[in-house]
Amino acid sequence: MDQVQSLVLEPLKPYLSPITHNLPTPVNDLAISLLGEQCHSALLLDIDFSSHPECVSLAISKALGIGIITAASVVKVPQIIKLVKSKSSEGLSFTSYLLETASFVITLAYNIRNGFPFSTFGETAFIAIQDVVISVLILAYSGQTPAAGAFVAAVGAAAYALLGSDSLISDAQMVTLQAGAGGLSIASKVPQILAIWQQGGTGQLSAFAVFNYLFGSLSRIYTTLQEVDDVLILYGFIAGFALNAVLAAQVLYYWNSPTTAGHAKEVGVGKSGSLQGAGQKGAATTQTEEAKLKGSPVSGTSSARPSSSSGRRRG
């Protein structure tokens, strides 16, 4: 850090100081609320990183937290789009989303009631909303529309009970619920892992969502260590990362499975250069060559039979 300070920041100070000392008021106020007065002065006004390494760690944690929350606001949109387009919930476990929704609602309430920084838990609110939408779509496409309405009502009632009034659920009960939420978060991944294994493919599961979850849970371990002194939350993120890693491994393993719905298109692999496309093209070419060697018609093509008038000469 000392070398970065002397070799990079010191030469840049004359150029950076006029900018950092004249930030727009909303931006400056946001920086103070995120970093605190001391770290705001050290990092932005004095541009002194080497003397305040704890402020650098805090700034990294805040940046990661904001990035996670931003990504979380759209992390499951590709999954929702895949469901709506296919009108099929194949490969998705409602039990998994039910458990995850319950876990996130409890965790959201626990963090709010303990006054933890929003940057350390804000994504739970966005993901919980998206989980509710996905759960409703799974039920609707499975022909269980009344159950979808009951599910939404149950989530609303639970949110009100957890956040609406301390008289309904005490702080001591919230601690117990948060301990259980960690177990729910772990349990929520197991039905999805089993569903993929039983089907031999990921179906309509979004690869984008899985890998975002993986990196998000890893980042959350860091931000929790930096800003939140709560082992219940930390252990939950560690366990979540381990199971998200299993899901990510399944996505890679079943990438070209017949029951996997277009991961290559989802993550933007080129049309002619996609793994699946290349495999299919190679298989088709092999089939064609084998058919030619055997003298039999190629599957999927029409073979013309010579007519009696043109097939042979009549003497």
CB 107 within 8 A of CB 124: yes
Same domain, residue pair 108 and 185: yes
Residue after which a domain boundary falls, among 245, 266, 287: 266
Q: Assess if residue 79 is contained within a domain.
A: yes
User: What residue type is assigned to position 71 of the chain?
Assistant: A
**What pLDDT does residue 265 have?**
55
Same domain, residue pair 34 and 128: no
Q: How many helices (H) and strands (E) does the chain have?
A: 14, 0
Give the C-alpha distances (Å, rounded to integers) separating 64 from 48, 139, 274. 21, 34, 32
pLDDT in tens, the chain (315 residues): 777 777 788 888 888 888 988 889 888 888 888 888 899 898 888 888 888 888 999 999 889 888 888 888 888 888 899 899 988 887 788 888 999 899 999 999 998 988 888 888 888 899 999 999 999 999 999 888 899 999 999 999 999 889 876 778 888 888 899 888 878 877 888 888 888 888 888 776 778 778 887 888 888 888 888 888 888 888 888 888 888 899 989 888 888 776 665 555 555 544 444 434 334 444 444 444 444 444 544 444 444 444 444 444 443
CA end-to-end distance (rounded Å), the chain: 98
Residue after which a domain boundary falls, among 266, 288, 305: 266
Same domain, residue pair 40 and 67: no
Same domain, residue pair 176 and 103: yes
DSSP 125-148: HHHHHHHHHHHHHHHHHTT-HHHH
Residue after which a domain boundary falls, among 51, 74, 92: 51
Same domain, residue pair 156 and 254: yes
Same domain, residue pair 38 and 186: no
Q: Assess if residue 313 is contained within a domain.
A: no
**What pLDDT does residue 102 have?**
92
Q: Assess if residue 173 is contained within a domain.
A: yes
Same domain, residue pair 36 and 130: no
Q: Assess if residue 260 is contained within a domain.
A: yes
Same domain, residue pair 30 and 130: no
**What pLDDT does residue 244 have?**
87
Count of domains forming the chain: 2
CB 86 within 8 A of CB 204: yes
Q: Assess if residue 6 is contained within a domain.
A: yes
Same domain, residue pair 148 and 212: yes
Q: Assess if residue 146 is contained within a domain.
A: yes
Same domain, residue pair 14 and 109: no
Same domain, residue pair 43 and 127: no
Q: Assess if residue 298 is contained within a domain.
A: no
Range of the domain at 77: 62-266
Closest-CA residue to 104 (of 200, 216, 236): 236
**What pLDDT does residue 302 have?**
42
Q: Assess if residue 279 is contained within a domain.
A: no
Same domain, residue pair 258 and 112: yes
Q: Rounded to the nearest 10 degrees, how much is the dihedral formed by the CA atoms of 34, 40, 45, 49?
A: -110
